[in-house]
Structure 1
Amino acid sequence: MVIDPVEQFRTVIKGNVEGLEQGITLLSTMTNEQYCMRAVPHMNSCIGEHLRHILDLYYALKESAAIQVIDYDVRRRGALVESCRLTGLLELGQIKAWLLTLQPRMMHDKFIMSTEVSVINTTVAHVETSLIRELIFVSAHAIHHYALMDISAKLCAFDTPKNMGIAPATLTALRNDSSCVQ
């Protein structure tokens, strides 16, 4: 199998943009009150807090270009985006615009990714990685949080866009298996 690296990069960017557009669609169809609802006792975080976390990872990747270090532990807990749906929409749009500026020649740019890896001690791992690999990671991470947002929304009795929080490989399996119920 011959893989065109430029096409591969464009596909990864397209997948990230599609994911961000799911978030934009969700936020466009809800109220600020719904954005801030907590589905307690089942979930402690509101949709806005999940979105802030998604955006924090994208911002860590975006800001890493100058210093070549991605620090996923930099978080903006308590930021306005957690409680203001319009700020969430604005930031999703900003990340989408940034993604669309990325060039295929950048896909293999090397970075050091830094993140805590222990739930018991403060232990940080530093791993060499590339832009394309991290774009795949932040997109998959966003889908995971979209799934949590989808559950939270349903527990708070409002609808989400079709296929919200479902992984691309799962959607392919559903499309290819007529016995799977959608």
Structure 2
Amino acid sequence: MVIDLVEQFRKVIKGNIEGLDQGVALLTSMTNEQYCMCAKPYINSSIGEHLRHVLDLYYALKSNVDMIDYDMRRRGALVESCRMTGLSELEQVKTWLLTLDPDMMNNKVIMSTEVSVVDTLVVQVETSLIRELIFVSMHAIHHYALMDVSAKFCDFDTPKNMGFAPATLTALRNDSSCVQ
């Protein structure tokens, strides 16, 4: 089986941008006050804090293509409390994605992250940029689902299909018994 790497790259970039566009749609539909609300006691982080976390993983990819360190975080950054900063950063990541070269997608890189909730245990594994782009996109969807729940607890609506995985949406489109 021959895999067309350029076509795979195109699909991954398209999927990432679609996911980031969900974030843009969410932020565009809310106020800064809603962006900063916490749905305590159910969810302890605001939508802004979740978005900062999502963006931090993209920035880990963007900042160093040889060593991806997912533990580098910007806790307390302006993006957590300023919806307009969130919108700007989403657009910056989208712009960066469109500059990526398909030839670098399968280059080997090292990914570093903590893996224990009890001790400080860091692992480093070999991976590729395309695989990590898939990961950060799926990770963003997970956080979008949390943002969706948070918004509902705070009594405001989110865009349709917010936080649904691509495979779930495909299943819903293909199964007439699943009504969305």
Give the TM-score taking structure 1 as reference length: 0.97
CA distance in 2, matches of 1:60, 1:142: 14
User: What does residue 128 of structure 2 align with?
Assistant: 130
List per-residue Cα deviations over 1:11-47 (Å, max 9, x = no partner): 0000000000000010011000000001011110000
How big is the shift at 1:2? 4.4
Amino acid at match of 1:75: R
User: What does residue 29 of structure 1 align with?
Assistant: 29
Amino acid at match of 1:44: N
Moved segments of 4+, more than 6 Å: none
Within-5 A mapping of 1:25-104: 25-65=25-65, 68-104=66-102
User: What does residue 176 of structure 2 align with?
Assistant: 178
CA distance in 2, matches of 1:133, 1:64: 15
List per-residue Cα deviations over 1:49-99 (Å, max 9, x = no partner): 00000000000000112xx11000000000000000000000000000000
Amino acid at match of 1:153: A
Amino acid at match of 1:141: H
How big is the shift at 1:103? 1.3
Amino acid at match of 1:162: K
How big is the shift at 1:172? 0.3
User: What does residue 140 of structure 2 align with?
Assistant: 142
How big is the shift at 1:110? 1.2
CA distance in 1, matches of 2:3, 2:124: 29
CA distance in 1, matches of 2:24, 2:3: 31
Amino acid at match of 2:33: E
Unaligned runs of 5+ in 2: none
Amino acid at match of 2:178: C
How big is the shift at 1:3? 3.2
List per-residue Cα deviations over 1:105-142 (Å, max 9, x = no partner): 01111110000000000000100000000000000000
How big is the shift at 1:5? 1.2
CA distance in 2, matches of 1:5, 1:178: 34
Give the share of equivalent positions with the same residue, in percent. Answer: 78
Q: CA RMSD in A?
A: 0.8
Aligned residues: 180
Amino acid at match of 1:89: L
* 2:42 corresponds to 1:20: no
